[in-house]
Amino acid sequence: MKIADTDLGEKPLFLAPMEDVTDVSFRYICKEYGADMLYTEFVSSDGLIRDAASSLKKLEIFDYERPIGIQIYGHIPGAMVAAALIAEAANPTLIDINFGCPVKKIAARGAGSGMMKYPDRMVEITKMVVNAVKLPVTVKTRLGWDDESKNIPELAERLQDAGIAAITIHGRTRAQLYKGEADWSLIGEVKKNPRIKIPVIGNGDINSPQAAAEAFERYGVDGIMIGRASYGRPWLFREIKHFLRYAELLPEPGISEKVALAKRHLKKSVEVKGERRGMLEMRRHLSAYFKALPNFREYRLKLVTENDPAQLIKTLDIIESVYENYQKN
């Protein structure tokens, strides 16, 4: 599969952009486990053109992350063009437009999946961004606003005609948020449309190797994007790749691998963000890595309150020792 001139190989796996999750350190870990394409956290067009420090910080990317896309969102055409030009200056592989985020504060003002109500404006913004930048432009969107307005088959054609290089479709409407099951039938319909020449990437409920294999085989998508299922489980990329190649399931990583992973992630977070912020922003990840362990409350409390990296490393070593013995017994 190729997006413009970027060859991602056969059946590539994409890490979905997730606010407060897909920062530099988490992308580093997912790349290590086999993600073929990464995305930054989504970035507000308003924040970028105001020169907001928090928004500009999200544009920081490294060569080892490539290929990587910067995703922007907004509802004002001029602001989206200006933001795309700022993002382009950070030299990503591509610019992605977020027409899929269902969060109320974003959708209510017509950004993210709120744009599903205004397909003409969505196409206008897309065309303006495509014409403004030299990099490939892609779009991430949903099936429609609600069950009565699932317009993605027609909309995908219009977005392709506007010049996008690929489309990612989440198999829910905005009204569903993240509830219920993702409907991949319309994603498959878009892919099977003979007018669609660009890659179609499917997204939604890919939480196991078997689900990924079914998505490729049944719906014919070119790639799969994985979001919430990778949080606390970045080894899912490795599991899927192994299953697609050998048709067998890998065992769950042992406690030693999870502890080693947590240490690498912590080191990268502190290295990139500094000790205080790096420690604070690791708390959500550390808790997620070990959420399946029994009788873990005492250690979880330490993981989410410790401010000293050295002490946190000691806690991780204790966790490894305690739960290795637990597993052996």
- Domains of the chain in start order, with CATH, are 2-246 (3.20.20.70), 255-328 (1.10.1200)
* 95-127 pLDDT tens trace: 999 987 777 778 777 787 788 888 999 999 999
pLDDT at residue 113, rounded to an integer? 77
* Whether the Cβ atoms of residue 8 and residue 1 lie closer than 8 Å to each other: yes
- Are the C-beta atoms of 99 and 139 separated by less than 8 Å? yes
Instruction: Give me the mean pLDDT over the 16-38 stretch.
Output: 93
Annotated active-site residue 101? The verdict is yes
Condensed to tens digits (0 to 9), the pLDDT of residues 32-79 reads: 999 999 999 888 888 888 877 777 888 889 999 999 999 998 888 999
Backbone angles phi and psi of 208, in degrees to 5: -155, 160
Per-residue tokens: 317: 């070593």
What is the per-residue pLDDT across 193-244, written as a single tens digit (0 to 9) for each? 999 999 999 999 999 999 999 999 999 999 999 999 999 999 999 999 999 9
Write down the pTM of the prediction. Answer: 0.92
Q: What's the mean pLDDT when you consider all of the chain?
A: 91
Mean local confidence (pLDDT), 306-312: 93
Q: Residues with Cβ < 8 Å from 240, sequence gap 6 or more? A: 13, 34, 206, 209, 212, 213, 224, 226
Q: What pLDDT is recorded for position 121?
A: 93
* pLDDT average, residue stretch 296-306: 92
Q: What's the pLDDT at 326?
A: 62
Q: Cα separation of 216 and 211, whole Å? A: 9
pLDDT of residue 244: 97
Q: List Cβ neighbours of 5 (8 Å cut-off, separation of 6 or more).
A: 136
Out of 72, 101, 156, 259, the active site residue is 101
Per-residue pLDDT at 111: 80
- Residue 73 and residue 30: Cα distance in Å, rounded? 23
Nearest C-alpha neighbor of 58 from the set 33, 98, 92, 29: 92
Q: Is the four-CA dihedral 84, 136, 244, 143 of positive or negative sign?
A: positive
Q: How confident is the model at residue 329 (pLDDT cuts 50, 70, 90)?
A: very low
